[in-house]
Amino acid sequence: MGTIFTNIFGFLVSVLVAWWVIAIFVVTSPQARMERTCAPVEWTGKVATSMSMLFNVKEGALIATANAFDNATYGCKFTVWRLFYEEDFKKSQAEQQKAKEEAEAAARQQKDMKPGPRKPVPVNADNH
């Protein structure tokens, strides 16, 4: 059996993880889900960059740290997109392309309608 600290710490971590998972599924937008899924990576990057600035790390190392976490955040979002949304995106693109091709084929099959002769418009003497 653990100490009171490990029990409280474990409970708080469990609550935070549960809150994070619920926050991901509450939103309906895929973009918002990806943002929320990868938020811990982005937060960690902000903390690491801030701590580097606090400890007066050289500018090159600070930029490298920020770039590493920016790349990690991008990698997280890319991975989530590939895992959950890529197939649906490809399917919707194929459906849009098919609909476009069908509309173009239907337009090609229609007769070319030329306008008929114009009828003269009577000119009213009062309306110049």
Alpha carbon 52 to its chain centroid, in Å, reads 29
Maximum distance among all Cα pairs of the chain, rounded to whole angstroms? 105
Cβ-proximal residues to 34 (8 Å cutoff; 6+ apart), any chain: 77, 80, 81
DSSP single-letter state for residue 115: -
Task: List the domain boundaries for the chain.
Answer: 37-107
pLDDT digits (tens, 9 = 90+) for 56-107: 889 899 999 999 999 999 999 999 999 998 998 899 999 999 999 999 888 8
Residue 128, pLDDT > 80, answer no
Mean pLDDT of the region 44-49: 94
Helices (H) and strands (E) in the chain, counts: 5, 0
Say what the pLDDT of residue 43 is.
Answer: 94
User: Which parts of 85-121 fold into alpha helices (H)?
Assistant: 86-109
Q: Which two tokens stand for residue 68?
A: 């590493």
Say what the pLDDT of residue 127 is.
Answer: 56
